[in-house]
Structure 1
Amino acid sequence: MVKRHHFLLGKWWWRFKTETESLWVKVIRSIHGLSGGLLLEGESHHRPTIGSWRNIVLTGDSIEDLHVPFKSSFVKTIGDGGTTSFWHEQWSGGGKLSSMFPRLFMLERYKDAIFKDRVQKLGSSLTFSWNWSREPSGHTKGELDHIIDLLQNLSFDSNGADNWSWSLGSNSSSLFKVDVLSSAIDAKLLGNVSSIHPTFHNNFVPKKIEIFMWRALKKRLQVRVELDKRGIDLDNSLPHIESVDHSIIFFKYALEIWERLFRWWGLGSFSSYSLIEIINEDSNISASTHGSKIWQATKWVCAYIIWKNRNNKTFKRKCFIGPVTLSEIQVMSFEWISKRSKLKNLDWLVWLTNPSHYLSIV
């Protein structure tokens, strides 16, 4: 799972690429190569194996595993070509030349060549300096002709410096933004949840609660029914009827907790038959926008704590005590909502004795 600090580590990719005159960048390059070992094809021998820089490099893998095109989002604009890998960096407007022209790349003697090692601009003309293990012919000669055509149409200033831009998101300045990367990752983690519930996002609870609810509603929690569908054989000692709804609602202790929650809020008896019904249950309650979010956040916390305590009971043989679990829900929901909502008129005593008071809060 991608953690919040991955967004910040991702920023070091941008800093490494743009702060080329910094001493720390020069040190990294002297150790790990021109790209710093940021997982360019052909540079696996430069990949760091220990240290803080390794964690930064591996952040790219973690983000890419979510199908966020993080590595390819850094796009090079050619100046004098002095800091750009000819084969491994994305500067052509398409992909990397090593991937676009694999036959020709195999003939390259020095696969870490920089752009100006291969191309020089004299006035309006280009000169090429190739270093082949043998002269290209056949298909490879066709690839070489394609590269030359591409270079002839490339606009670059040989008197300027190479620059980076960032293509992810709709960032008009083309600069790296942590919040844009965060949004792209969240979109992959949470998926398209608008079809499940129009107000699925709730910033009154931590992101892990939102992700848990998304997984639960998508039937992606590790319960017997869902694992069986994926062909995963389980220990027969585990519960034999175990769906998501059963684990969070109809499990003996879970049902007791939901009934206690509804009585605590003064909303009558609990009568939902699925998790989606619980999520949509507030449609019958008269509440303000903030009030709806508070009630929704409380239900999400309840589901999360039931799931956590159910796992503790099943796998760690810990007791599942209804009154204790409700107290945990009361404490955690109040702490998260009071800190994250920034509502100034939340009172702990009122929360314990009459939480429905907050249904009308504005």
Structure 2
Amino acid sequence: MNIELYPLKFEPIYQYRLWGGRKLANLLSKPLPNDGPIGEAWILSDRKDHASKVIDGSLKGYSITQLMKEFPKELMGRLAGRFDRFPLLLKFLDCKEVLSVQVHPSDDQKTYIPKGDTGKTEAWVVLETGNDSRIYAGLKNGTDKQNLRQAIQNHSLADKLHSFIPQSGDAVFIHSGTVHTLGGTVVFEVQENSDVTFRLYDWDRIDSKTGKPRDLQVDQALACIDFNQVDIGPVKAVIETHHTNTEKLFDNEHFILWRMKYKSPFKVGVKNEPTILVCLEGSAKVVCNANHYPISKGDVMLLPADIGECHVHPDAQINLLQIAIPGKDKSKRS
């Protein structure tokens, strides 16, 4: 099939969560379903059960799964062949109530990962906070497997967790093996393309849909915890030397993420690599090969590797995240 790829936008996939709310309606243009709690919008997902679909252009209706299969080189460039699925999962979370206390396995803990899946390292950018906002990230010093299990049994697990009150704009890195949860916040989340979660504790809640508590996986969770992950706080952004309106928030083996705030035109994208743009505030035109593609608050846009560099022309000030997938030798990637 002779189709030229272009900047691709995807339809968000909403997910019911008992801890969710209705605030994603303020972030995304797609209406929320019915009147239940919506905790997550999966804005770029290559999962079997939830695959994102292109919303416009000649590839409208194509899933990211189909694109990876039919246009691997055009989409992924020098990364083609490394991944069976698109390697990242992107979400917006509306955590009206606190999530379960949970942990995700690392890539090398194969015993706890379903075949074809990976571990899960993730990161958050805080978009909105409230009076009850709190992020739990890592354990308190001195916590071990024995006293943690005892705290779960005594319903006092929160006493073993490090926590802080987040501010809008905070960026938090959650390495696999880190005990974590959050509540009273709206965040953007980038993570490995994995849905493996083990719950330690769910605050003794009852799911209104089932009338029962949600299942816990305490033994698996304890086996996957990295007890060295303690007292995790917001990361310190790194201001780019020649681009003071650009700051690097995360740089690890799974993803690199920059936050860009500009009023005048600026460059995005990299030759022969895919780039993801997520618009947090404002609107703009993304100019590629003399064509203009609109992007506005809540949109995710995937720039295929074939496109390379593009220019963003903001309508006013724009707050944009740019996400890259590191190559095998991350040290050579700027």
The TM-score, its normalising length taken from structure 2, stands at 0.26
Larger radius of gyration: 1
The TM-score, its normalising length taken from structure 1, stands at 0.25
| Higher RCO (CA 8 Å, separation ≥ 6 residues) | 2
Looking at secondary structure, tell me which structure has more strand per residue.
2
